Structure 1
Amino acid sequence: MNFIPTVTIAKKEIGHVFKLPFQVLGAPIATTVLYFLVFGHAIGGRLGAIQGISYTEFIMPGLIMMNMITGAFNGVFSSMILAKYMNTFNDLLVSPMSYLEIIMGFVIGSVGRSIITAGAIYLTALFFVPFHIGHPFFILLMLILVGACFALLGFLVGVVADNFEHASVFPNFIIMPLSFLGGIFYSAEMLPAFAQRLTYYNPLFYMINGMRYGFFGISDVMPVTAFAVVMALFVVMLGATWQLVRSGYKLKN
């Protein structure tokens, strides 16, 4: 595998952070501040502690994960739609780069952008509640895997989609509902038994709880289970994306 072209694509994707700082960083930070003010202070002050930590601390890992997921998906999706519209993706297909090198260039770039976004939200959270990081390596691992999963999903949808109007379908009707139902604002222990069983089928539930374990050492599932689910999802998404690019569906003229 030749890393030079892959890194070149990744640098281009990460560069969007500095070209569009308000869009990439400003919007997630503003949204996070609103969540902290409304849920963390206005509502959380009346709920008390959950699993031994304050409500503001409890929702913080989920907010980081939600913004990272959305950013990873939207970043690659936008790049793919533009590449198809401007017919520049064909230049990559006819280059000596392998399909895997092309895919990983977009994924690595998106993960880099997402980690920068996560760091900005983490620094924002410090203004509302002080906390320490319990397992930094596990947090980094989850950030990389989750960012890669949704970068691959953005790549897939970008290949299949015909225009930017399709961009709102996945974030608004799939990603956002699954995020809210994945335990950002509540623990699965607070749900009735039937709802708990349904929650275990939500992949974002494992991502959010994996992040919460990384910060505070608490989780509704075993951390190894959360890691295994996210890793399995990454492998499936990578295989599906590679196969789609290999087939040339909506890519090769």
Structure 2
Amino acid sequence: MNFYAIRAIYKFEMSRTFRTLMQSIASPVLSTSLYFIVFGTAIGSRMGNIEGISYGAFIIPGLVMLSLLSESISNASFGIFFPKFSGTIYEVLSAPVSAMEIVIGYVGAAATKSVTLGLLILFTAQLFVDYHIEHPFWMLAFLILTAITFSLFGFIIGIWADDFQKLQVIPLMVVTPLTFLGGAFYSISMLPEPWQTLTLFNPVVYLISGFRWAFYGVADVNVAVSLGMTMVFLLICLTTVWWIFRSGYRLRT
């Protein structure tokens, strides 16, 4: 394992974050804070509890996931797309660095940014809503696992995209709607049939449900199923990345 190469890629990607703190950190935190103000304080104060939890506290895991998914994809996709766009990707591919080391460097940096952002949002939420975390270990585990999984997904999108517009297609047209429909602002048990059953085909439901269980001990689906679905998606992403480097898909052209 070439740790020098991994560290070089990791440090390069992290340095880009520090150069764009307003865009990378401040902007997502501010946007999520507005959700807390509008939904948690203004609307939440007029709504009853959901499964014994105040509405403002209930939506915190969903809002963290909303930011975590979008930022993980955005950081990883742009991180690998820009070298393709500028042509410097060939220097990386021709260097004595394995595909695993390249992926660890880029995905590790993107996941680090996303986890940091998620923790900052949780800290900021304390300013607006009182909440507690029943299972801090599992909260952190779901946070890190989701960040890694969707950073891998973003890495795949960055390789697939051949222009800047395509970088935003899947996050805006697919991931964000699935997150809003996946129980970020409500419990799926509140939905009538057949919508409640149809919602179970939304993979984001399992991420939000498992993450919410780590906070309050309540979940829309069994936490073991949530963890299993996350691992399945992680395995799919790892398999896809392996195939991309094995076949050279959109890397050698």
TM-score (norm 1): 0.96
* Partner in structure 1 of residue 173 of structure 2: 173
* Partner in structure 2 of residue 93 of structure 1: 93
Q: Deviations over 1:140-174 (max 9, x none)?
A: 21112211121111111111111111122112100
Q: Kindly indicate whether residue 14 of structure 2 is the aligned counterpart of residue 14 of structure 1.
A: yes
Identity of aligned residues (%): 39
Task: State which drifts further: 234-243 or 34-43.
Answer: 34-43
Would you say how many aligned residue pairs link Structure 1 and Structure 2?
253
Structure 2: give runs of 5+ residues left out of the alignment.
none
Q: Distance in 2 between matches of 1:62 and 1:16?
A: 28
Q: Secondary structure at the match of 1:149?
A: helix
Q: Distance in 1 between matches of 2:82 and 2:118?
A: 25
1:70, distance to aligned residue in structure 2 (A): 0.7
Q: Secondary structure at the match of 1:193?
A: coil
Alignment of 1:234-253 (within 5 A): 234-253=234-253
1:242, distance to aligned residue in structure 2 (A): 1.6
Q: Secondary structure at the match of 2:189?
A: helix
Question: Is the CA contact (8 Å cut-off) linking 2:6 and 2:105 kept in structure 1?
Answer: yes
* Partner in structure 1 of residue 78 of structure 2: 78
Q: Distance in 2 between matches of 1:66 and 1:14?
A: 22
Task: State which drifts further: 178-187 or 6-15.
Answer: 6-15
Question: Is the CA contact (8 Å cut-off) linking 1:13 and 1:113 kept in structure 2?
Answer: no
Question: Is the CA contact (8 Å cut-off) linking 2:40 and 2:129 kept in structure 1?
Answer: no
1:7, distance to aligned residue in structure 2 (A): 2.9
Q: Distance in 2 between matches of 1:174 and 1:46?
A: 31
Q: What one-letter code is carried by the residue in structure 1 that aligns with 2:195?
A: A
TM-score (norm 2): 0.96
* Partner in structure 1 of residue 222 of structure 2: 222
Question: Is the CA contact (8 Å cut-off) linking 1:135 and 1:214 kept in structure 2?
Answer: yes
* Partner in structure 1 of residue 133 of structure 2: 133
1:18, distance to aligned residue in structure 2 (A): 1.6
1:28, distance to aligned residue in structure 2 (A): 1.0
Q: What one-letter code is carried by the residue in structure 2 that aligns with 1:102?
A: I
Q: Distance in 2 between matches of 1:46 and 1:211?
A: 25
1:117, distance to aligned residue in structure 2 (A): 0.4
Q: Distance in 1 between matches of 2:18 and 2:44?
A: 35
* Partner in structure 2 of residue 64 of structure 1: 64
Q: Deviations over 1:172-229 (max 9, x none)?
A: 1001100001100000110012111111111111111111111111111111111110
Q: What one-letter code is carried by the residue in structure 2 that aligns with 1:176?
A: T
* Partner in structure 2 of residue 211 of structure 1: 211
Computed over aligned residues only, the root mean square deviation of the Cα atoms, in angstroms, reads 1.3
Question: Is the CA contact (8 Å cut-off) linking 2:80 and 2:106 kept in structure 1?
Answer: no
Q: Which runs of 4+ in 1 moved over 4 A?
A: none
Q: Secondary structure at the match of 1:184?
A: coil
Question: Is the CA contact (8 Å cut-off) linking 1:69 and 1:147 kept in structure 2?
Answer: yes
Q: What one-letter code is carried by the residue in structure 2 that aligns with 1:137?
A: F
> Given the superposition, is the C-alpha separation of residues 12 and 139 from structure 1 closer, same or farther in structure 2, using an over 3 Å criterion?
farther
* Partner in structure 1 of residue 47 of structure 2: 47
Q: Deviations over 1:94-149 (max 9, x none)?
A: 12211111112111111100011001111110001122221111112111221112
Task: State which drifts further: 29-38 or 62-71.
Answer: 29-38
